[in-house]
Amino acid sequence: MSKHFLLGMLPDNIRLEAHFTHLAPACPPEPIETHEHTEVWFIHEGTARLMTDGITRDLAAGEMGVCIAGDRHTIYNASQTQPCSYFVLTVGPPE
C-alpha cells in the first residue's frame, strides 16, 4: 500500500515528491529499476532490505537509505513475519 504526495517543482525543473509505503510480511521485492531522480528512504517500522548499485543492506526503523539517480535498486520487507513501512523522498527531473 502506498500513498503518494506531489510536493511540487523546485527551481530548474526539479521535482520533489514523497510517498509512504507499508509492506506486508514476506512481500515480494519491487522490480529492479533505475530512475533519473534520487530517492531517500526513511524506515518507519520493521526492517527493509535495500539493494542499490549491487550492494544490499538491511535498514531498521529509524535508519535511512539513499539511491543516487541512475543506480539500479530494489527494496522489500526483509521479514517473513513482521510488517515494514517507509517514507520515500524523491528529488530530480520529472519522469
Over the stretch 35-83, which tens digit does the pLDDT of each residue have? 999 999 999 999 999 999 999 999 999 999 999 999 999 999 999 999 9
Number of domains in the chain: 1
Q: How far is CA 30 from CA 4, 6, 25, 62, in A?
A: 16, 21, 14, 21
pTM for the model stands at 0.86
Domain residues for the domain of 79 are 2-92
Q: How far is CA 50 from CA 6, 11, 12, 79, 84, in A?
A: 23, 30, 30, 13, 12
Residue 33 clears pLDDT 90, i.e. is over it: yes
Q: Could you tell me the CATH number of the domain that includes residue 62?
A: 2.60.120.10
